[in-house]
């Protein structure tokens, strides 16, 4: 028996085999979870489908989280196929490349709205659509970063989006707790992924981890995945509204970020 045996859920945010969502999915599978996956567009479907199928998934659906109707269709389909689900993983973020490069004061109104919409509001829309089919004891998990709390050079509008995301976690947790549904976030250390490639000087963030994180390194997708198993399984049945660092302890260091 695995920690996730008998549990079903959906993973938003696999782009390729470097994605944090993929690290999470592999760990969940190892613990016996059954999963559906979503992909953003046709180009990514080519990568996501074989990965999902390699974990035995047969439910692989399109979803642009900027569109409420896409999100609603995903949960309507899951309701049709499975009736109820036990967990949702939200590992989705986006900001314009220039907004991660230019000074923060130069962020355009449209760029600000886009980053907040895709990276923060989508959690609210997703949770709302999931609520009718989430079992009591269900769990929603999202991914954040230290830039929500501290100024991290070049993280800019994404830091503001992550701050909104973390506040949304707390408001959703407070609301859904009565129904026995938990909402949490993992604030991960820097990991080389497609999304990370849009952040200027990402290499220097990895170097800081090697020099200053208590564990003297950054973390891996699998390590985030192992903490995700905790939040999505009954191990964390008493935990909600938490922003949990999986960053080798970097956040405790004075001047970190
Ligand atoms: P990734 O590029 O593998 O994943 C980002 C995902 O967001 C992709 O699958 C992409 O398709 C999806 N996405 C973007 N716009 C979308 C839209 N409109 N609709 C649906 N999906 C959309 O990169 P990742 O680093 O694995 O990112 C996953 C999460 O982890 C993000 O929230 C990211 O901010 C967070 N995170 C990453 C790091 C890091 O260093 N890589 C650190 C902390 C937190």
The string of pLDDT tens digits covering residues 40-54 is: 999 999 999 999 999
In testing the pocket of ligand 1, which one of 38, 91, 95 has its CB within 8 Å of the most ligand atoms?
Answer: 91
In testing the pocket of ligand 1, which one of 13, 61, 62 has its CB within 8 Å of the most ligand atoms?
Answer: 13
pLDDT at 133 over 80: yes
Given this model, what pLDDT does residue 243 score?
A: 98
With pLDDT > 70 as the criterion, what percentage of the chain qualifies?
A: 99
Phi and psi of 134, rounded to 5°? Answer: -85, 125
pLDDT at 257 over 60: no
- Any idea which residue has 């290499």 for tokens? 203
Given this model, what pLDDT does residue 254 score?
A: 81
pLDDT at 210 over 80: yes
39 is catalytic: no
pLDDT digits (tens, 9 = 90+) for 49-88: 999 999 999 999 999 999 999 999 999 999 999 999 999 9
Given this model, what pLDDT does residue 73 score?
A: 98
């Amino acid at each position: 028996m695995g920690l996730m045996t008998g549990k079903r859920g959906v993973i938003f945010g696999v782009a390729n085999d470097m994605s944090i969502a993929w690290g999470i999915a592999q760990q969940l599978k190892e613990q016996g979870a059954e999963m559906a996956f979503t992909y953003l567009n046709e180009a990514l479907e080519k990568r996501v489908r074989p990965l999902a199928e390699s974990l035995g998934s047969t439910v692989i659906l399109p979803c642009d989280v900027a569109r409420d109707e896409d999100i609603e269709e995903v949960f309507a389909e899951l309701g049709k196929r499975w009736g109820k689900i036990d967990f949702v993983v939200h590992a989705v973020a986006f900001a314009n490349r220039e907004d991660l490069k230019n000074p923060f004061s130069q962020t355009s109104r449209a760029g600000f709205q886009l980053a907040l919409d895709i990276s923060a509001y989508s959690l609210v829309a997703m949770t709302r659509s999931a609520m009718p089919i989430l079992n009591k004891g269900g769990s929603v998990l999202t991914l954040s970063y230290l830039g929500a709390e501290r100024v991290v050079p070049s993280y800019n509008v994404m830091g503001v989006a992550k701050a909104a995301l973390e506040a949304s976690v707390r408001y959703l947790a407070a609301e859904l707790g009565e129904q026995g549904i938990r909402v949490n976030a993992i604030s991960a250390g820097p990991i080389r992924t497609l999304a990370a490639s849009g952040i200027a000087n990402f290499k220097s963030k990895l170097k800081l981890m090697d020099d200053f994180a208590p564990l003297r390194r950054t973390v891996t997708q699998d390590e985030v995945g192992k903490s995700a198993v905790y939040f999505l399984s009954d191990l964390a049945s008493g935990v909600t509204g938490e922003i949990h660092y999986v960053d080798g302890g970097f956040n405790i260091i004075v001047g970190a970020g």
